[in-house]
Structure 1
């Protein structure tokens, strides 16, 4: 069994598919792979989250299928898929297909959704945060069930990443269903979430060390690396947006990862 103590540190890059042409996005994914990044993520939105609100933007899963062909070694995934936008069985089939295209490199990142403009413009019911989390709780077993029925089966047990920090519902879903938890926040916030996740794992009889802990980082490893690592967090993801994807912070985290991993 993999435990937090023997996990290698991993570094991800979230290429935010906004304010850029696709050739630049594809080139950035290839450059990240050449630099040695472990995971390349995008996100599942229909409009930019910052900058010009009507700016250039591309769809998540179509892009993942393209990345499955244009990359060779990195894992790929959404940080994260919005559960509201697709039928759970369809999500499972999409994930299985990209898993095969990529040769077993997909991470199935998923969350409950939150960006109201996406919902309004594309005709989805926004509802309430609690309702969207309840929908996610219903969807996860359906995704798992469909993955078990598909022919051909996935090439591996596709890792499920659940993103979010809700202490009563989201982290409980992580304890039940996820292989990876992804959160945000400073060291203090991350520490609180980790402790609550550990308690949810105890409540459902799961070894918390089975769950890889991941965070988004906006500053360098000199400030965040050791404090987050001391919490058992071993995956660190840098986000960058278009039109020019700045990889300077990513390079610092990669150098730190290599030094830590030996």
Structure 2
């Protein structure tokens, strides 16, 4: 049974519109059971299914999952191969159910790093679900927040050099418009699992005003009750955006 939602206080929103999750703890989950890390990743894929379903049922508008960072390419080759295979399996096996449930799938990051077969599956999944009006599921793959901001800065520099934009007109909105998430609302709530308390280069620009919840639950064990508990904590907070309240 999930946690009972807390009543909102003051101007606290009733529900987060956009929840972002750093899915952490697959390796520790496997190690605690004497299993290879790949077993933790497979169980983590099951957690993705649970949480996507729960987010849609709870009325969350956008769910962004940090599936593979730009730094993850440094991991052992067999682990990277397993993760790539799990991604392709997810795209093949889950897209039908996602589409039937009205989920729109988006992928941000350097997808080309995953090879042409995976890119083709991503493009097919995005095209199939593009018109869906339910939960927007954003998967961050080969993604790094600093690289995203640097790419936006390069694009602005190129546009300024070409005379397409006045440098004096470059503001926060101009940067935001050139990010992967240009048409996606910023996260209201950032969750990290496994007890770690850092953001690990994830959505650095976008989480400027996000509430953060750090869950001790390892990602493979994360379920609807954990998501509801994080949302309840969010709803119990007063968000001032730098202002003051009485």
Q: TM-score, normalised by structure 1?
A: 0.42
TM-score (norm 2): 0.43
1 or 2 for the larger relative contact order (CA 8 Å, sep ≥6)?
2
